[in-house]
Amino acid sequence: MTDQALNASVDLMSQRGLGPEAIRVFTHYFQQLQAGAQGTIPEDSIEPLGDIQTLGEVKVSDEEARAALSKTAVIKLNGGLGTGMGMTGAKSALEVRDGLTFLDIIALQVLALRKRWDVELPLVLMNSFRTSQESLDILAKYPDLPVEGLPLDFIQNAEPKLCPDGLMPVKWPKDPELEWCPPGHGDIYVSLVTSGVLDALLDKGIRYAFLSNSDNLGATCDPDVAAWMVEHGLPYVAEVCKRTKSDRKGGHLAVRKSDGRIVLRDTAMVAEGEERYFRDIKRHSTFNANNLWIDLEVLRERMTAKQGVLGLPIIVNRKNVDPADASSPEVIQMESAMGTAIEVFEGSEAILVPRTRFRPVKTTNDLLVIRSDFFSLDDDYHVVAAVDGPEPFVDLDSAYRFVSGFEKRFPKGVPSMRDCTSLRVIGDPVFGRNVRCVGEVLIDGYRRVLDDAVLGELPGPTTPTPPSTSGDLRTVDEHLKAILSTLEPSPTEWTPLTEALGLVVARDVRSKVDLPRFDNSSMDGYAVRADSLAGTGEAPVRLHIVGEVAAGDDPTFSVGPGEAARIMTGAPIPDGADAVIAVEDTDGAATGEVECHAAVSRGRYVRPCGEDVASGSTIVGAGEVVGARTIALLAACGHAGVEVHRRPRVVVLSTGSELVQPGQPLGPGQIHDSNSAMLWAAAVGAGASAEIRGAVGDSEDELLAALDEIVTEADVVITSGGVSMGAFDVVKSALRGKGVEFVRVAMQPGKPQGYGLLAGPDGRQVPLFALPGNPVSSFVSFEVFVRPALRRLMRLTPEKRRPRPATLISGVESFAGRRQFGRAVVSRSAEGTLVAAPVAGQGSHFVADLSRANALFVVPEDVTELVAGEVVDVLVLDKDA
């Protein structure tokens, strides 16, 4: 079957006019795919990259730079459609700033380099068959850009998309062009040959090429790198940047143990279960910027010797035949990455470049920053930061994912980001004009950000609170931000359906089957041909019964004209039948002939195959929360499990020599440990898995020994007690200086708090929450700080409980400068509004009154008294309240 499939693809490529080199490369990868290649690089086969040359240490003269640049061409990969941002045309045609598209800025950068260095410096685009015309139309406004004897673009090769089952080329009559795909940007080397551009460049005296993505505006042709490459006679140079947390998903270079060559390991090349090594930024401390330099003479020699097959590692990509339609069938695209060529050319090197050379726009998060006043264009059209410091971190909600949604929500332009360190938006507010973001900004629940607004340190939908005047007190919002800023979503894992309830789906799930799987009956009756009953308006029609079909049967007979088959609900429709007549419209005969009293239309009472769900269509999208109905759909579509952000493992540990497990006898001065059970239940209620470890006494060594064991298996640790100022506050004394910070928070109850990250195995960091020991303080602290953290780990939104307005039945008092979280019983009035009755015991030790409360009422820091009848925000704890 696969030989037939390969031949079918090769025939299509020949008919399309693709050259022999492209067909040989396709055949090379097809045979690897046929043999089960996954294109992975195991961790034990590589070593970290080690020390490399830094661009800042390269010293070249102006003459050396000019000489190198005079032999260099700029080649931009420009085949992307930007489907990940909801675009259908060339991504490089998107306006990025100052009314200029990517291509405008690239053209202006090249023209500025020509003028400054007095060199020809050709610009050539590698386009796909879908981006060429649109891109050339944009460049037409720059008449001085073309170089005599060289084209402005060449077309990347194409290959058939393959059906996963059997590897035959896919058929998509709706749009036959979607049956084809580019073979990844590793095809650039083959396309340079087959297009004739490689020979044309060499004939013009161009020896070197700088290759980069058109959406990376930091990737300008740096003369220093060109001169360094020429000086050392290097065949191939890859630019890398220092890796940060936000780069953990990007590919990195490493050294292959077997031959000492530098290799590129991209995300799709990570072996299953080794994601933690790939994301370890201490072990693999740089990432591949995909800015590459290549000696074109060496490339031609190698391509000639290998007949066009460089042998780059295969990347197996699974996508939809229509990238804009998640319900279209899944296909396989065989690809390669241009950066993996580093292992092919002996003597290849890497060079460490500043982050300014890596300014890609992959998402609308990046687009917001690049359009903002954090960046500007200098006289040479380089993208430069307007202020010192790292770029703001931006995390926009899903409503902003596509460019169309992004533009609708910033109709007056993006906010000022010069003074912003991070912007996180939950929901889909529309931004007004002249909005300014300052510091860490969280927008949670707003419907509109007004004109001329200044956003900074915002706590969410409630009114921002003034800074505390208590000196060393931290506000509630400051402490929560400090916690959430350290957390990232839990790793993903395949989870059985019975264990996935309440978790967030990590990637789109497609149906393995059609629903229904076959045409079946929605009624008890008789399967017939509709034409056989055409005359029942005048008199009953008698049909010969040829068989019976029950649910689960596989009928081997067919129904012809004048025939019927007795059929039950859910049973498959036998061949020949195209309708069902309900049993109540007949005499109900079981054998012989059935008398029919009504006509039926074709398709009557027939559930068509795939009517509910088509095989290969997306049934559950990434980001959806698994519920009972989701589980039913997944199971019906053939899935026993689903990939989700896994449930955090929480370990609860109480401290104090006075604690005794519930059910055990109490000695003098002892109490039962209620906090552990309460925090366990709260963690499970928030969606985590949890366990209780026995309470430890007031010994630092005992506590540290327990934690050393716990961090090997826990994702989150919660302790209660031992965080105040007492002589036996063991948690504070043992963990201060070990990564856990102990602070006083301007809240009541729960002022003493501790939080930090403990070192776990494999570099894993385990959050530890050190909560107060009083039961109410511990519970309130969990609700305010731990619950949002657990929900962030699971990617559940909203992370915080939404405040709801309620009318107080009785007055309350509060300390100035502290946010009070009181306990109340909330119910609905006759008018349907919420009313809140504060419980009698508001002290931090009143467990009984805590158990009766179903909500927390919130008194702001600047309010000391509320009287009956005033409206207060409440956080409802019980779903049925």
Beta bridge partners of 314: none
Using only the alpha carbons of the chain, give its radius of gyration: 33
**CA–CA separation, 269 and 340 (whole Å):** 11
Token pair recorded at residue 212 = 């980069």
Token pair recorded at residue 555 = 């009928």
Token pair recorded at residue 809 = 């039945």
834-838 and 865-866 strand pairing: unpaired
Q: How many helices (H) and strands (E) does the chain have?
A: 20, 53
HSE, side-chain direction, 13 A CA sphere, residue 192: 33
Q: Which residues contact 665 (CB under 8 A, 6 or more apart)?
A: none
Helix axes 20-34, 2-16, angle to 10 degrees: 160
Closest CA to 5 of 169, 229, 175, 200: 169
46-48 and 100-101 strand pairing: unpaired
* Whether 590 contacts 566, CB under 8 Å: yes
141 part of the active site = no
CA distance to 578, 676, 721, per residue, from 725 (Å) = 81, 22, 11
CA distance to 186, 261, 601, 735, per residue, from 769 (Å) = 48, 45, 67, 11
Helix (H) or strand (E) holding 580: strand 579-582
Closest CA to 837 of 865, 809, 856, 857: 809
Distance of CA 560 to the CA centre of its chain: 54
Rounded to 5°, angle at Cα 312 from 197 and 269: 130
Token pair recorded at residue 239 = 């630019």
Catalytic residue, from 362, 408, 738, 800: name it: 362
Q: What letter does residue 340 receive in the DSSP assignment?
A: G
Q: Which residues contact 495 (CB under 8 A, 6 or more apart)?
A: 503, 641, 642, 643, 644, 646
Token pair recorded at residue 501 = 């309830």
**CA–CA separation, 671 and 725 (whole Å):** 21
520-521 and 606-607 strand pairing: antiparallel
Helix axes 62-69, 223-232, angle to 10 degrees: 90
**CA–CA separation, 207 and 201 (whole Å):** 8
Q: Which residues contact 539 (CB under 8 A, 6 or more apart)?
A: none
**CA–CA separation, 396 and 393 (whole Å):** 10
Tell me which residue has tokens 């300390």: 815
DSSP letters, 656-707, are -TTEE-TTSPP-TT-EE--HHHHHHHHHHHTT-EEEEEEEE-S-HHHHHHHH
Cis omega (within 30 of 0) on the bond before 516?
Answer: yes
Closest CA to 754 of 728, 774, 738, 772: 772
Closest CA to 841 of 831, 852, 857, 833: 852
DSSP letters, 37-93, are ------GGGEEE----EEGGG----HHHHHHHHTTEEEEEE-----GGGT--S-GGG
Catalytic residue numbers? 362
